[in-house]
Amino acid sequence: MRYCIKGGEIVDPAGGFSGSGDLLIEDGKVTAVERELEVEDCQVYDASGKLVFPGLIDLHVHLREPGREDEETIAGGAKAAIKGGFTGIACMANTDPVADNAVVIEYIKKQAQAAGYAKVYPIGAITKGLQGRELAEMGAMAAAGAVGFSDDGKTVTNAAVFREALEYATQFGLPLFLHEEDPDLAGDGVMHEGYWSTVLGLPGIPSVAEEIMIARDILLAEYTGARVHFCHVSAAGSVRLIREAKFRGLLISAEVTPHHFSLSDAMVQSYDPVFRVSPPLRGERDLAALKEGLRDGAIDVIATDHAPHTLEEKHREFSLAPTGMIGLETALSVAWTELVLEKILTKQQLVEKMSVNPAAVLGISGGSLKTGAAADVIVFDPNLEWTVTPEQLVSKSKNSPFIGRKLMGGVDGVWVNGDLKLAHGNFVE
């Protein structure tokens, strides 16, 4: 099928075209981008009053399959990604069994291909069983299609093991995706250590628990020359350390989640376990630093850390509830509402954070609408106002902190490799 997306404002910082124009899709590729196209024998998609972006790419998603299909499946998560405008997602290794070998990596790829929604890029474990003691089969996983390595959910606290992982990863040209938190400093904490943890009587996790591990791993990355990506950065001191390391030319990148730049630890005063997340929601000073890091480039990527949990698991006493929130379907709207409308980022910068830079971190094609690029395209309606409800969410789990919140902007159309997956907000089956 040939498609002509007409009349939208094309936002393509990597491809070089900006402004009102038409885009032609055929044979799975972008074949023309011009101010006005006259074409025949194609399906016209009216994008008047809307924005046309390269498909978004999420570096940090938990799909739960294999092992916890009651929370999420590969197919369900990939479908939720489409609803949120993500044409590609990278999934973490903390499944059951753990994705620490080529067999699980191959299984994830086959399941994603069979589902036929967003592209899924598996991230393999750094250590066997996520135990932090012995390196996983990194070479075999790389050969099977892993795009990087992570023990996300856990920190590799043994510096010698982590150094070895960095040295091995460089042999395959792949980055390590790092969850940074010193477990001894974090202790039994369940929220950010600060004013609200004191008032609420809940044990806190100090921001230095994150910052001290980031400082260590910056030094080890510098020593080994390896590429590292810092996941879900949450603290002001972390942003400062990353900014300084980038100034020295290190091969590092970093992400922040929509919930970390838009929600603070004050939300926990409701004791609603939906707000329990790792790392925890921080204070207003940290939120301001995260936004400034996005603005000045210290933070490269906006990623969701989509972490599904069942209703029964999540609706427990705050301290007993598992950490994590879903985010695939709300991320773009939250970012548009909190960052673009508040003039923290331009729409071009937003596309860089959610499409161009994630593609670069993964080393995959994507993030551009230039002629010849894979036709991973989304149409975004910036004027759509909507309120998040559980019924609207495609994800199998509904643990979103944004339920009941009014957001601006919504995904109208999505193409993956030139195949129309979402049209005017509805799935094309």
| 183 lies in the same domain as 225 | yes
**Is residue 59 one of the residues assigned to a domain?**
yes
Q: CATH code at 93?
A: 3.20.20.140
Contact in structure between 303 and 231 (CB atoms under 8 Å): yes
Domain boundary among 332, 362, 392: 362
Q: Which run of H or of E encompasses 211? A: helix 208-224
Domain coverage including residue 410: 3-52+373-427
* First and final C-alpha spacing in the chain: 15
Residue 350 lies in a domain: yes
Same domain? 86 vs 108: yes
Q: Note whether 253 and 229 are within 8 A (CB).
A: yes
Strands 426-427 and 119-122: unpaired
CA distances from 141 to 54, 104, 121, 174, 176 (A): 28, 9, 12, 11, 13
Do residue 383 and residue 298 come from a single domain? no
Q: Indicate if 305 belongs to the active site.
A: yes
What average pLDDT does this structure show over 167-186?
Answer: 97
CA-based nearest residue to 241, from 216, 261, 206: 216
The DSSP H or E segment spanning 240 is helix 236-247
pTM of the model: 0.97
Cα gap 212→248, rounded to integer Å: 19
- Please tell me the distance from the alpha carbon of residue 322 to that of residue 315, in angstroms, as a whole number: 9
Could you tell me if 255 and 141 lie in one domain?
A: yes
Beta-strand relationship, 29-34 and 18-26:
antiparallel
Q: Verify that 69 and 11 share a domain, yes or no.
A: no
- Unique residue bearing structure tokens 């994008």: 47
Which candidate in 58, 305, 376, 381 is catalytic?
305
The Cα–Cα gap between 362 and 60 comes to 11
Number of structural domains found in the chain: 2
Omega cis (within 30) before 279: yes
Six-digit token string for 359 = 């593609």
Paired residues of 301 in beta bridges = 255
Residue 352 falls within a domain, yes or no?
yes
Share of the chain above pLDDT 90, in %: 98
Residue 399 vs residues 31, 148, 274, 330: alpha-carbon distances, Å = 40, 27, 6, 12
Q: Give domain status of residue 368, yes or no.
A: no
Q: Residue 60 falls within a domain, yes or no?
A: yes
Q: Is residue 413 domain-shared with residue 336, that is, in the same domain? A: no
**353 is written with which tokens?**
């954070």
Reduced to 3 states (helix: H, G, I; strand: E, B; else coil), residue 415 is strand
- Angle, CA 369 vertex, CA 365 and CA 374 arms, to 5°: 45
| Of residues 7, 45, 27, 11, the one with CA closest to residue 349 | 11
Token pair of 4, please?
């002509």
Q: What are phi and psi of 165, to 5 degrees?
A: -65, -40
Is 152 within the bounds of a domain? yes
Q: What is the CATH number of the domain that holds 416?
A: 2.30.40.10
CA dist 64 and 45 (Å) reads: 35
pLDDT digits (tens, 9 = 90+) for 108-132: 999 999 999 999 999 999 999 999 9
Asked whether the predicted pLDDT for residue 350 surpasses 90, the reply is yes
Question: 164 in helix, strand or coil?
Answer: helix
Amino acid at 420: L
Residues 21 and 67 in one domain: no
pLDDT of residue 306: 98
- Tell me: do 162 and 72 sit in the same domain: yes
List phi, psi (to 5°) of 426.
-120, 145
Domain's final residue, options 334, 362, 390: 362
In the predicted structure, residue 17 carries a pLDDT above the cut 90: no
Model pLDDT, residue 18: 87
Residues 328 and 89 sit within 8 Å (Cβ to Cβ): yes
Q: 135: which DSSP letter?
A: B
Structural element, H or E, at residue 10? strand 3-11
Q: Are residues 129 and 257 in the same domain?
A: yes
On whether both 181 and 251 belong to a single domain, the answer is: yes
Per-residue pLDDT band at 210 (split at 50, 70, 90): very high
Q: Is the pLDDT of residue 429 over 90?
A: no
Q: Are residues 204 and 321 in the same domain?
A: yes
The conformation of residue 352, written as its DSSP 8-state character, comes to I
Cis peptide before 97 (omega within 30 of 0): yes
**What is residue 290's predicted lDDT score, i.e. its pLDDT?**
98
- The predicted model gives 205-227 an average pLDDT of 98
pLDDT at 78 over 90: yes
Question: Is the residue at 367 inside a domain?
Answer: no
193 & 87 share domain: yes
User: How are beta strands 119-122 and 176-178 bridged, if at all?
Assistant: unpaired
Q: Is residue 54 over pLDDT 90?
A: yes
Nearest CA to 309 out of 296, 326, 294 is that of 326
